[in-house]
Amino acid sequence: MNLKIGIIGLPNAGKSTLFNALLKKQVADVAAYPFCTIEPNVGVVAVPDERLLRLAQITKLEEHMNELPPIVPAVVEFVDIAGLVAGASKGEGLGNKFLSHIREVDLICHVVRNFVDPSVVHVAGEINPLRDKDIIETELILADLQTLEKQQEPFGYQQHKPQPDRSTKEDFERFDLVVKLRSELNNGRSVREIITDEFEQEMVRDLHLLSMKPTLFVINVNEEELSTKNNTNNPIIPMTNENTLVICAKTEAELVSLTPEEQKEYLTALGVKASGLDLLIQKAYQMLGLISFLTTGVIEARAWTIVTGTKAPQAAGTIHTDFEKKFIKADCVSYTDFINPSGLASPKPSEGGWKKSRELGKVRQEGREYSMRDGDVVEFKIGA
């Protein structure tokens, strides 16, 4: 299951800089795994997960291997979507073609320019992140309005009477929602803000509304501003909430070509703790409601992506489609227990593993109704 994240924003916001940094980091971090640029603007990026190295170390000892088994992280796909400008919904710039690319993504990563650099022109004049954010959001909202205008009124809607074989009560309820959305979108609100109810989201899911997609705002600041992002004079503060990340794309691009030690020094000099790319990927993953279960063995130590709430047989099905049907049970142990079944203060890799976890009663046998938890280390038992 590859989830797609679309990077959008006004021209010169730093989208491609960010996209290229993500891909470059990829190559530097996990050269062994065949990550690739699918098309010039599409790339597969690993979700950083420190747990995998530990699992690989444990398996190497437990299975008497000479080398660590390969580490296979969960991945997400990033798409650099250029061409969105004011008027795109009316065909300006690259217009509708690009809106349709946005329709295909699961999450929008909206890069907003807050860096000042006289050598990089800004289409909208002076730097103003709140205005820029609204320009893009307005285009998405206008595109959604066009989609909603095309929705036909169900037969008998005016008379509040479903017509046998032609319309149902459900059609009416759905159209009520369409009418509500039309009016609220006209007031400049996004579908995301209007519909928070999952049932209602489901009713209009097939319309692939752009402003309904979960959106992560990435504020691209000057390097110096990274460590002063809590400065109350900063105009971007009203925008910062749990779905916002402040980064400097240029710094990220420079960081990826340094050694890990150099990166640490660089970040310390800037007064920040961690690189923004890892945070970005992890945040996107969380916003999509995704969790990982883990498997480890001589073949690989691997993270598998599932949606929160996925039951054990369906989780098995992500490994191999047959596994869902032939599912018998799942041996599960939490990552924390797996690496440290005896609850030591600072466990070594030799203190973890399947054997010790079983001996110490940490392994649960779960059936078809079990909802997987993030970090479950799993062995599926599959029938013939």
Ligand X SMILES: Nc1nc2c(ncn2[C@@H]2O[C@H](COP(=O)(O)OP(=O)(O)O)[C@@H](O)[C@H]2O)c(=O)[nH]1
Does the footprint of ligand X cover residue 9 (CB under 6 A)?
A: yes
Q: Which is nearer to ligand X, 9 or 352 (CB)?
A: 9
Of the candidate spans 4-12, 177-185, 262-270, 367-375, the one that interacts with ligand X by CB under 6 A turns out to be 4-12
For the bound state, the minimum distance from the C-beta of residue 16 to Mg ion, rounded and expressed in Å, comes to 3
User: Residue 83 CB, nearest distance to Mg ion (Å)?
Assistant: 9
β-strand partners of 306: 291
Would you say 5 or 249 has its CB closer to ligand X?
249
Choice from 63, 104, 117, 202 touching ligand X (CB under 6 A):
117
How far the first Cα of the chain sits from its last, in Å, is 25
Contacts of ligand X in 15-54 (CB under 6 A)? 15-17
User: Among ligand X, Mg ion, none, what does residue 360 contact (CB within 5–8 Å per kind)?
Assistant: none
Does 82 contact Mg ion by CB under 5 A? yes
Which tokens hold the place of 245?
Answer: 């990340």
Q: Tokens in use for 363?
A: 């392994």
Position among 120, 130, 299, 344 found at the interface with ligand X (CB under 6 A): 120
DSSP string, 163-194: PTTT--HHHHHHHHHHHHHHHHHHTT--HHHH
6 touches ligand X by CB under 6 A: no
CA distances from 336 to 57, 74, 80, 352, 374 (A): 15, 19, 37, 10, 11
Positions 221 through 280 that interact with ligand X (CB under 6 A): 222, 248-250
Q: What is the DSSP letter of 330?
A: E
Per CB under 5 A, the segment of 20-28, 30-38, 79-87, 238-246 that binds Mg ion is 79-87
Q: Rank residues 132 and 366 by Cβ distance to ligand X and give the closer one.
A: 132
Q: How far apart are CA 231 and CA 233, in angstroms?
A: 5
The option from Mg ion, ligand X, none interacting with 115 (CB < 5 to 8 A, set by class) reads ligand X
Residue 142: count other Cβ atoms within 10 Å of its Cβ. 18
Pairing of strands 301-307, 290-296: antiparallel
Instruction: Single out the residue of 4, 11, 37, 239 in contact with ligand X (rule: CB under 6 A).
Output: 11
- Tell me, what amino acid is at 141? I
Which one of residues 35, 98, 115, 323 is an interface residue with ligand X (CB under 6 A)?
A: 115
Phi/psi of residue 292, nearest 5 degrees: -120, 140
Asked if residue 94 binds Mg ion (CB under 5 A), the reply is: no
Site for Mg ion in 1-40 (CB under 5 A): 15-16
Q: Which of 137, 152, 149 is nearest to 210 (CA)?
A: 137
Element (H, E) at 112: strand 107-113
Binding positions for ligand X, 347-366, rule CB under 6 A: none
Whole-number Å distance between alpha carbons of 365 and 378: 10
Q: Are strands 364-366 and 301-307 parallel, antiparallel or unpaired?
A: unpaired
Position 313 contacts ligand X (CB under 6 A): no
Q: Where are the alpha helices (DSSP H) in the chain?
A: 15-29, 51-62, 95-103, 129-149, 169-186, 191-194, 198-203, 249-255, 260-270, 276-287, 312-319, 321-325, 335-339, 354-359
Amino acid found at 318: T
When binding is defined by CB under 6 A, the residue of 4, 12, 307, 331 that contacts ligand X is 12
Cβ distance to ligand X smaller for residue 117 or 322:
117
Q: Is there binding between residue 301 and ligand X (CB under 6 A)?
A: no
Q: With CB under 5 A as the contact rule, which of the stretches 75-83, 207-215, 243-251, 354-362 interacts with Mg ion?
A: 75-83
Residue ranges that bind Mg ion, judged by CB under 5 A: 15-16, 82
Residue ranges that bind ligand X, judged by CB under 6 A: 9, 11-17, 115, 117, 120, 220, 222, 248-250
